[in-house]
Amino acid sequence: AGPCDIYASGGTPCIAAHSTTRALFNSFNGSLYQVKRGSDSATLNIGPLSAGGVANAAAQDSFCAHTTCVITTIFDQSGHNNHLTQAPAGGWKGPEANGSDNLASATGAPVTLNGSKAYGVFIPPGTGYRNNAATGTAKGDAAQGMYAVFDGTHYNGGCCFDYGNAETSGGDTGAGHMEAIYFGNINVWGTGSGSGPWIMADLENGLFSGVNVKQNTGDPTITDRFVTAVVKGQPNNWAIRGGNAASGALTTFYNGQRPNASGYNPMSKEGAIILGIGGDNSNGAQGTFYEGVMTSGFPSDATENAVQANIVAAKYATTSMTSGPALSVGSHVSLRATTACCTNRFISHQGSTVNTQVVSSSNTTTVKQQASWVVRTGLANSACFSFESVDTAGSFLRQSSFQLMLNANDNSKGFHEDATFCPQAGLNGQGNSVRSWNYPTRFFRHFGNVLYIASNGGVHDFDATALFNDDVSFVVSSGFA
């Protein structure tokens, strides 16, 4: 049985079931999600390998070969047509030209389930999905259950990495108008114990860990790579539960009355569905979603425990984040552009500016060192890499507002994330394309001889689609110095 078969037998059926990694009903053999590729804007629906099975990642890989792909739709498997698509502008505008949010890369969150490759939804700040016309979702004070499987190591303190029930208007309509799972370490509203991240409930105008609006020390900091997060609510009763999605059982972190603040009892749920954003389209948060559902009715703990056993049996595990010519940690490398204009130019720095320079063996040591980088284990993710300057020890290539810079490592979580890159086979067939770990639609790109992390189409001039594959493909050789 799948998670939704278990919820159905518990009398609390799924009214929304979203996953890019697997079918959530035993008999589900339809489309899990849709990808759109950069080369020709064609789309492809990805289904499971067999009914009830893991997503057909190989179909995505061949469709997206030598180009980029984004996830356009996460289909609802429940039959309620509660599909998730690009979130439109709400109370807050997203980064797209019309104020909508960005779509997620289709390749930012590779995993395996029982050894079979699949992709999660890696959500950087600015990215989100929404359905403002969902049907069958809880409204008012009606009961609902939810669970989601997240990457417990991908979070931040921005508002708000949510999955669940939100406003149908896209705006903040007041306390009690949402009931969604939140994951992250924002401390503007409630918190759990330690420094986070925590599973909390976004009930609008507040993230809550328990009855006390400020803190529930029973809501622990999460350290698991894969985390199962549960939030459920019914009249004057709600609960937070969580556990390791790869082993063991769920623990109840809170189960009791609504928070001690006005507006939450009774609730005023509106029934839209959000992923990766706040109810008002706040889009400063990051996180990774693999699967999740919303139910009609308040699921029993026993039902959720059986769902957790099903998730554990799906065997989520990490897998390679890179492809193409291998880089080895500790080696010195130089990266040569492959666009026809520029095949004698290498990624270099002058002070903190990162650009391309014409370099050859006859240049001075200074110039050679400016074009040489020490390959380091990824500062934010050991499956990827960081690039330390040969002439300025302790300074790394990092993105800042999507421009590549050379800056000293301040050892902050944010710096580490901005300085982590996952090379893959070059999009134009040469060398490597170097994908940003925290913005995986974006790759090292030279544009006007300056280095950016660029997406294949977007609002910045450096996101231009013309020459994209060439501009993001670099031949990596041993370093000049």
Q: Which of 5, 76, 151, 172 binds ligand AHR (CB under 6 A)?
A: 172
Q: What is the DSSP string of 47-66?
A: -BSSTT-BB-HHHHHHHTTT
- Which residues have CB under 8 Å from 432's CB, separation 6+? 324, 325, 327, 335, 423, 424, 425, 426, 473, 474, 475, 476
**Position with the least CB separation from ligand AHR:** 278
Q: Which of positions 238-267 make contact with ligand AHR (CB under 6 A)?
A: none
Q: What is the rounded CA–CA span in Å between residue 416 and residue 425?
A: 23
Q: Which of 179, 280, 304, 470 binds ligand AHR (CB under 6 A)?
A: 280
243, β-bridge pairs: 228
Closest approach of ligand AHR to the CB of residue 90, in Å: 8
3-class state of residue 120 by DSSP = strand
Q: Does 179 help bind ligand AHR (rule: CB under 6 A)?
A: no
Closest approach of ligand AHR to the CB of residue 464, in Å: 34
Q: What is the rounded CA–CA span in Å between residue 326 and residue 432?
A: 9
Q: What is the rounded CA–CA span in Å between residue 317 and residue 315?
A: 6
Q: Which of 70, 113, 207, 359 binds ligand AHR (CB under 6 A)?
A: 207
Q: Which is nearer to ligand AHR, 146 or 390 (CB)?
A: 146
Show the tokens assigned to 303: 């039902």
Q: Which of 78, 205, 295, 399 binds ligand AHR (CB under 6 A)?
A: 205
Q: Which amino acid is at 476?
A: V
User: Beta strands of 9-49 (E only): which ranges?
Assistant: 14-19, 33-37, 43-46
Q: Which of 47, 233, 278, 423 binds ligand AHR (CB under 6 A)?
A: 278
Q: Which of 76, 202, 388, 463 binds ligand AHR (CB under 6 A)?
A: 202
Q: How many residues bind ligand AHR (CB under 6 A)?
A: 12
Q: Which of positions 306-345 make contact with ligand AHR (CB under 6 A)?
A: none
Q: Which is nearer to ligand AHR, 147 or 264 (CB)?
A: 264
Segment interacting with ligand AHR, rule: CB under 6 A, options 102-110, 199-207, 211-219, 286-294 = 199-207
Show the tokens assigned to 310: 């099903």
Q: Does 270 help bind ligand AHR (rule: CB under 6 A)?
A: no
For the chain, the first-to-last Cα distance in angstroms comes to 58
Closest approach of ligand AHR to the CB of residue 160, in Å: 4
Segment interacting with ligand AHR, rule: CB under 6 A, options 246-254, 274-282, 314-322, 432-440 = 274-282
Q: Does 204 help bind ligand AHR (rule: CB under 6 A)?
A: yes
Q: What is the rounded CA–CA span in Å between residue 123 and residue 439?
A: 8
Q: Which of 107, 165, 282, 433 binds ligand AHR (CB under 6 A)?
A: 282
Q: Does 206 help bind ligand AHR (rule: CB under 6 A)?
A: yes
Q: Which is nearer to ligand AHR, 243 or 278 (CB)?
A: 278
Clarify whether 410 is annotated catalytic.
Answer: no
- Which residues have CB under 8 Å from 64's CB, separation 6+? 35, 37, 106, 107
Q: Using alpha carbons, list the distances in angstroms from residue 201 to 136, 207, 288, 359.
A: 20, 5, 17, 54
Q: Which is nearer to ligand AHR, 159 or 427 (CB)?
A: 159
Closest approach of ligand AHR to the CB of residue 281, in Å: 8
The angle formed by the CA atoms of residues 252, 28 and 40, to the nearest 5 degrees, is: 105
Q: What is the rounded CA–CA span in Å between residue 146 and residue 240?
A: 10
Identify the active-site residue in 101, 280, 417, 463.
280
Q: Which is nearer to ligand AHR, 151 or 172 (CB)?
A: 172
Q: What is the rounded CA–CA span in Å between residue 91 and residue 99?
A: 10
Q: Does 434 help bind ligand AHR (rule: CB under 6 A)?
A: no
Q: Which amino acid is at 240?
A: I
Q: What is the rounded CA–CA span in Å between residue 307 and residue 232?
A: 14
Q: Which is nearer to ligand AHR, 240 or 472 (CB)?
A: 240
Handedness of CA 274, 280, 281, 286 (dihedral sign): negative
**382 CB neighbour count, 10 Å cutoff:** 12
Closest approach of ligand AHR to the CB of residue 124, in Å: 17
**476 CB neighbour count, 10 Å cutoff:** 22
Q: Using alpha carbons, list the distances in angstroms from residue 139 to 75, 240, 267, 297, 298.
A: 22, 20, 9, 11, 13
Clarify whether 304 is annotated catalytic.
Answer: no
Closest approach of ligand AHR to the CB of residue 88, in Å: 14
Closest approach of ligand AHR to the CB of residue 140, in Å: 18
Q: Which of positions 125-164 make contact with ligand AHR (CB under 6 A)?
A: 159-160
Identify the active-site residue in 162, 179, 202, 204.
204
Q: Which is nearer to ligand AHR, 278 or 299 (CB)?
A: 278
Q: Which is nearer to ligand AHR, 30 or 284 (CB)?
A: 284
62, β-bridge pairs: none
Q: Which residues bind ligand AHR (CB under 6 A)?
A: 159-160, 172, 202, 204-207, 278-280, 282
Q: Which residues are catalytic?
A: 204, 280
